[in-house]
Amino acid sequence: MLSSTFLDQHGQPSFNLLQNRRLHASAVRFYVFDLLFWQGRSLLAAPLRTRRDFLRLALKQVQSPVLMSDWLEAPLGDLIAAARKTNLEGLVAKSRESRYEPGKRSGAWLKLRFNLDQELVIGGYLPGPRGFDALLAGYYEQGRLIFAGKIRNGFRQAGSKERVFARFKGLGSARCPFDNLPEPANARRGMALTAEAMKLCCWLKPELVAQVGIREWTPDRHLRHSTFLGIRDDKPARQVVFERG
C-alpha cells in the first residue's frame, strides 16, 4: 500500500505540484507504508510490525522515487509541535500490533489533522481577469448545496486560472445551485451575494470539487481566508460535506 505526493524545493508536500505533475515529474515520491501480501502469502492477520518487516525486505532493491514511510520515534507532543511548525496536514498513528481488517474502522489507527483544509464544490464564479475573479463554493448538507464563500487566493502560478476556467466548459447553468442564496446584505464582511449581487454571478452545474486551504470558519460556517489548492477528480461532488467548524 502506498500514497503519492510531490515535494517542493523545501522538501514539503505540495498539492499544487501534484495538480501540475506533468510539469514537475521529478518531484514525485511514492511512500509505501504497508504490505498485505508477500510472495503469494496473505499478511492480513500479521501485526503491523511484521508486515513492515516484510515490506522493508520487499523494498531492499527499490530506489527513489519509491520510498518507505518510516516510524517517527518521539513523544507525541514533540511530533505534533514539529508537524505544526513545518505546516504539515497532520499525523497518522498506528498500533504496531494491529492487524489489517478490510472495511472496518479500528481504534488502532488514529489520524490527527492540524489544519482546516477540505474539499468544496464549485457552483459558480464571479467573472474577472483570466476568466474569473472568485470561485463560489460550498458543501452538501442533507442533500442541499450550501454556499460557504468566495475563493480568490491561490492562483499565483502562471496559467493556473486559465486551467481552472477551462474546466468550466459545458458546465454553465442558468440556475443558482446553492440552496441558501441570496444572502442578506449583512451576511459577511465582504460583498454578500444578495439578490442584486447574484446578477453578477455565472452559475455552474455542481460537479467540480476543489481542495481548499481554510484558515478559519466563521460561526455561521462562512469561509475566512481561504486558498484554492487544486481540483479534486477523485471525489464525487455529492460526497462533499462540512467536516469541521
Give me the pLDDT at residue 163, please: 94
**pTM of the full predicted structure?**
0.60
Q: Identify the CA nearest to 93 among candidates 129, 62, 69.
A: 69
Domains present along the chain, CATH in parentheses:
2-113 (3.30.470.30), 118-239 (2.40.50.140)
Q: Which residue has the cell 509541535?
A: 81
Residue ranges, the chain, pLDDT below 70:
1-27, 87, 115, 188-189, 244-245
| CA distances in angstroms from 33 to 38, 53, 107, 147, listed in the order given | 14, 11, 18, 37
Sequence-distant (≥ 6) Cβ neighbours of residue 69 within 8 angstroms: 3, 31, 32, 33
User: For cell 465582504, what's the residue?
Assistant: 190
